[in-house]
Amino acid sequence: MSTAASRDMPRGATASTIAQAKVNLFLRVLSREASGYHQLETLFCRLELGDPVTIRTAVRGRSLDCAGESIPPGGLGPVERNLAWRAAVAFAGAARWPNDWAIEVTKRIPVGGGLGGGSADAGAVLRCLNALAPRPLPLPDLLALAATLGADVPFLTLDAPLALAWGRGDRMLSLPALPERSVTLACFPFGIPTPEAFGWLDDERGMFPPVSKVRRVEEITSWTGIAAIAHNDFEEVVAARYTEIARALATLRGMGGADPTAFAVLTGSGSTVAYLSPSDADHARARDGRLAGIASRLMTTRTTDAVVGVEVLG
């Protein structure tokens, strides 16, 4: 077999992983560029909650099959708009491989709630295809490709459980994982359209957006430091329009008591509110009715100190 032929042989035909959700432990929206994009500063943290994703390349044609308890009643819309599909198309264009694929996604992450479910699926597809590719893309190229798909996708392609991100989410600093803790997610049957949330924020601020702020290492490498700065710039404008989100934030923030490391924060542009606390009793109280009549669904997961790897089969 020639050397060229050896390079063209795929290293496997099937790869799978878990597309883990994320929360934004803090999120600051800075100035808007002339292009319309906003500069961001955020601290991404991965969760155990995730969508199993499998991709096969030894197939004819291209397909995407999504199933699971988190599929909304109206479905996920046209396949061409699905981020997992778009990730496969983008990878095939950049790597000139593969021509065909079959993607299977089991949706466990609530759709459109700010937990990065679609972005996580896209990141998982990029990671899986790169593991299978006869000529894998270098990591900087893979992350640049991820950045074309959305602000959350680079982090959810990176093998890091915690990262500080800025710019459009494409500039990142991986950080040491924090000790795991329980997370209660207050979920709602609607998402907050991100372009609308940016528009509300621009209307509120007018000509005076905040400027970038230098963070001390202690603020982003311990739960105590993070709890002190935990805030999402979208919270005020979103809570003003959705009373149930305002109530969820107030209720969860009233549960931490004297614990300085417990906090609640809107994740992404919403609608999900995440509550992080080291006390399992706090999370039990939330499940036992503190949020009854406010959130449509409560989920419990954990932060994680590791990213699930890609398993190559066949």
Q: Is the pLDDT of residue 228 over 60?
A: yes
**The predicted structure's pLDDT at residue 208:** 60
Q: Is the pLDDT of residue 9 over 50?
A: no
| pLDDT tens string 57-101 | 999 999 999 999 988 888 888 999 999 999 999 999 999 999 999
Least confident of 38-42, 144-148, 254-258, 265-269: 254-258
Q: Report pTM.
A: 0.91
**The predicted structure's pLDDT at residue 213:** 66
All domains of the chain in start order, with CATH = 3-175 (3.30.230.10), 182-302 (3.30.70.890)
Instruction: Give the chain as a DSSP string.
Output: --HHHHHHS-S-SEEEEEEEEEEEEEEEEEEEPTTSPEEEEEEEEEEEEEEEEEEE-SSSSEEEEEESTT--TT-S--GGG-HHHHHHHHHHHHH---S-EEEEEE--SPTTSSS-HHHHHHHHHHHHHHHH-SSPPPHHHHHHHHHTT-TTHHHHHSS-SEEEEEETTTEEEE-PPPPP-EEEEEE-SS---HHHHHHHHHHHHTT-PPPP-PPPHHHHSSHHHHHHH--BTTHHHHHTT-HHHHHHHHHHHTS-TT-TT-EEEE-TTSS-EEEEES-HHHHHHIIIIITTTT-SEEEEEEB-SSPPPPEEE-
Q: Is the pLDDT of residue 282 over 80?
A: no
Q: Is the pLDDT of residue 222 over 90?
A: yes
Residues carrying an active site annotation:
22, 152
